[in-house]
Chains A and B, each alone.
Chain A
Amino acid sequence: MLLDLAHGFVQVFQPFDLLMLVVGLLVGMAVSIMPGLGLVMGVVLALPFTYQMPIEPSIILLTAIYFAGTYAGCFTAILYRIPGEPMDVPMLWDGYTMGRRGSPAKALGWALVAALIGGLVSSAVMVVLADPMSEIALKFDSPDYFAAVFFGLTTVVALAGKSMVNSLISLCIGLLVATVGIDSIYGTQRFTFGVPILRDGVQLVEVLVGMYGLGEVLTRIGQGLRVSHAETGGKKVTTHIPSLRELLAIKTTLFRSTVLGTLLGIVPGAGATITAFISYGVEKQYGRRRHLLGTGLPEGIVAPQIGATASVAGHMIPLLTLGLPGSGATAVILAAFLLHGVQPGPMLFEEPSSLLMVNTILASMFASVVGMCLLGFLWIRVIVKVLTIPQGVLSAIVVMFCLVGAYANRNNMSDVWMIVIFGVLGYLFEKFKFPVSPMVLGAILGPVGESSFMRSMIASGNDWTVFFKGPICGTLMAGSLLALSYPLIRQFLSARRRLQPVASSGGSP
């Protein structure tokens, strides 16, 4: 395994692959710093540039953006109280507070070490797990695949937004979008309504770029596209790495958050944001100095940062071994694979030609983590300058990337029209608080879900209990039911917590 990984490293350090890695890291850092862009949009905007590239540098580019996007947002959160992404919000509580108390360089140092540890450890764990997971995936038959897709989608629904009803509606719309076009089993036209461009089905790029790219820009235009530039000047931007003694003092936090981030990364739907919040929440619940959290403690910086970065490797492995994306960014990476005619899954680990590609991608994960920390340490001053780009200019450029990027896929104006349709849909989703990620994942996983469902039903003579009978599919379906009941359990527990103080205060004189 180590020898294979070494071959991967040799490949990563080929000039073009290395260039894409560095470009990816810089793009990832820039987009995660800018409020309103975010790492998913960064990955989406980079997708058109991969059309003409070989597959390895394409995936390296997108993965590097993904990794760097989980780290660089801490710069502006700590220095200027500007969270580039929702995942950076926990960084405001302790990171910004530590900075305001006179140690911004130290806060940045803690974030850097956390990203480095979280990224490297989770990548190592996932490399070890990749082979066994692909072995298990090889045993999957149709009901197991359907159950895996079902599990992925239900966890995304359970974790995606504040309203489960809205998440479910979003998912259903995504699954329906995937059914448009000619059905693969019967050759029947479905939901085409005589429109020729719908006959080929809806392209993934249209959904991704429209919903995440144009939709987000339209939302930002409605919000006024404002960033507080007044707060971004006059700060000393350096990074002060904590000493080994300081690190050992919070070793429990380091360990706990790394394990949590890695494990949560595997769960579909538990993206970097949820992982960062949960890691912070667990620290607040079980940390040695939990009562001081929020006052500028290193634990409050380390826990969410480790969680966010560690989740990336966790997401990459189900994508590579099962072909199942668990987040918006991995959905785009899956689209990049498919655009290159490669279907991720266990077979990638079986064939020698694709094995080198897999090892190159795995090696690039380690290189991305080290690279982003180096760039963050050395070029932080330059990177935070992107905040000075006027939002109006940036939005216009992003819209151009969305439209031209969609056109570039097939040199077809119909694709651009579809982008606008999905852009408006993305805006309406944001406006009416429907989460976007279930819709996108539904559109991507819909065809796999449908084909495995149809095959299972045909093979079993329309016996729907087939999805509950096998050990793998039975376990996954049970997991799905648990995931679906999770919001109800959470609601019940928080209602009980709210009632407890009332009851106790009511009992006292």
Chain B
Amino acid sequence: MTSDVPVTPIRRLKAALPYVVVLAVGAFLYHAADTFQFEQVSGRIGPGAWPKLILVLLLVTALWGAVSSAVHAGKAATTEPGGSDEALLHPPEIYPHLVWIAVGVTLGYLLLLPIVGFFLGTIAFVAVLMYLGHFRRPLPIAVLSVATSLAFMFVFMRVVYVSLPVGTAPFNRVSFALMAAIGVH
């Protein structure tokens, strides 16, 4: 069963936008592939041949996608039997802003990691992630974030022998103290 909704140019553009982005990136990469520096051997295809082949396929497909999604923008998705099962598996996105906050927090964590060290940075990061994931009980968050940070430090530094960032002074003192406590030298 399908149902149609009024189609505005904005709706068409929105539907075609992902494909337009792919088209733009594809065109840029094709230009880049055209300018690869290499020593030409007569009768042989160059290092740009394979990427260009893929890019042509990408550009043609994205163009097709852009046109067809703009044309069919008004058509609602077909309702198929088992739709409720589909909803169980793929619920709609209701908090898109939380995703970008989570990405921002992750980037901040990666920037701060070399300064504050793994242990302290991870406590804060895990606590914020739990909060973003709708787990909002302060005491369990505090306990679990410290426990998670310690557990990761122990497993990866003591068992898997990974050298996790210790941070710079004065934060590295905490890292060194903990490393000594768990027997990592």
Listed in ascending order, the chain A residues whose CB lies under 8 Å from chain B are: 35, 48-49, 51-52, 81-83, 86, 89, 92, 163, 165-166, 168-169, 172-173, 175-176, 179, 183, 185-191, 193, 218-219, 221-226, 390-393, 395-397, 399-400, 403-404, 407-408, 411, 413, 416-417, 420, 423-424, 427-428, 431-432, 434, 450, 453-454, 457-458, 461-462
B55 CB to nearest chain A CB (Å)? 7
Chain B 131-152, CB within 8 Å of chain A: the 1/0 string?
1111100000000110010001
Contact call A168/B164, Cβ cutoff below 8 A: no
Docked-complex contact B33 and A190, CB < 8 angstroms? yes
Q: Is residue B58 within 8 Å, beta carbon to beta carbon, of the partner chain?
A: yes
User: Known contacts A188-B36, A222-B96; is A165 also within 8 Å of B54 by CB?
Assistant: no
Task: Flag if A186 contacts B132 (CB, 8 Å).
Answer: no
Majority DSSP secondary structure for residues of B touching A? helix
**Is there contact, CB below 8 Å, between A179 and B54?**
yes
- Shortest CB–CB separation between residue A442 and chain B, in angstroms? 9
Contacts of B22 in A (CB 8 A): 169, 173
Q: A168-B61, A218-B103, A424-B103 are in contact. Are A176 and B160 (CB under 8 A)?
A: no
Decide if B91 is an interface residue (CB 8 Å cutoff).
yes
Q: A172-B54, A420-B103 are known contacts. Are A404 and B162 too (CB-CB below 8 A)?
A: yes
Most buried by B among A82, A166, A186: A186
Task: Name the A residues within 8 Å of B91 (CB-CB).
Answer: 223-224, 226
**Assuming the A-B contacts A173-B58, A221-B98, A404-B152, are A179 and B39 also in contact, with contact meaning beta carbons closer than 8 angstroms in the complex?**
no
Q: In the assembled complex, how far is the CB of residue B136 from the closest CB belonging to chain A, in whole angstroms?
A: 8
B6 within 8 A of A: no
Chain A residue with minimal CB distance to B92? A223
Of B93, B103, B130, the residue contacting A396 (CB under 8 A) is: B130
Whether A450 touches B61, Cβ cut-off 8 Å, given contacts A218-B99, A393-B130, A408-B160, is no
A225 partner, pick from B54, B96, B133, B144, beta carbons under 8 A: B133
What A residues does B54 contact at CB under 8 A?
Answer: 172, 175-176, 179
Size range of the chain B interface in the assembly? 35 or more
Which chain B residues lie closer than 8 Å to A168 at the CB level? 57-58, 61
A88 to chain B, nearest CB (A): 9
* Complex alpha-carbon distance, A86 and B82, angstroms: 12
Partner of A420 from B18, B110, B161 at Cβ < 8 Å: B110
CB neighbours of A393 from chain B (8 A) = 130, 133, 135, 144
Q: Which of B142-184 contact A (CB under 8 A)?
A: 144-145, 148, 152, 156, 160-165
Contacts of B85 in A (CB 8 A): 83, 89, 92
Interface string of B65-109 (1 = CB under 8 A from A): 100100000000000001001001101111110110011001100
Check B135 against A392 for contact (C-beta < 8 Å).
yes
CA distance A163 to B85 in the complex (A): 19
A450 to B48 Cα, complex, angstroms: 11
Minimum distance in angstroms from B34 CB to a CB of chain A: 12
Is B129 part of the contact surface with A, judged by Cβ < 8 Å? yes
**How distant is A290 from chain B, measured CB to nearest CB, in Å?**
15
Bits for B7-38, please: 1 = Cβ < 8 Å to A, else 0: 00000000000110010000001001100111
Distance in angstroms between the alpha carbons of A322 and B138 in the assembled complex: 52
- 3 residue pairs, one from A and one from B, having the closest CB atoms: A392-B133, A392-B135, A172-B58
Question: Complex: how many Å from CA A454 to CA B44?
Answer: 9
Q: B113 at interface (Cβ–Cβ under 8 A)?
A: yes
Contacts of B51 in A (CB 8 A): 176, 179, 190-191
What separation, in Å, do the CA atoms of A223 and B51 have in the docked complex?
Answer: 36
A380 to B37, CA, bound (A): 60
Which residues of chain B have C-beta atoms less than 8 A from A454's C-beta?
Answer: 45, 49-50
Residue of A nearest to B94 (CB): A224
How far, in Å, is A439 (CB) from chain B's closest CB? 12
- Check if B61 sits within 8 Å of A165, measured CB to CB: yes
Instruction: Give the CA-CA distance A89 to B36 in the complex, in Å.
Output: 48
- Name 25 interchain pairs, CB-CB below 8 A, sorted by A: A86-B89, A89-B85, A92-B85, A92-B88, A165-B61, A168-B58, A168-B61, A169-B19, A169-B58, A172-B57, A176-B55, A190-B48, A218-B102, A222-B96, A223-B91, A390-B130, A392-B131, A392-B132, A393-B144, A395-B130, A397-B148, A404-B152, A420-B103, A428-B18, A454-B50
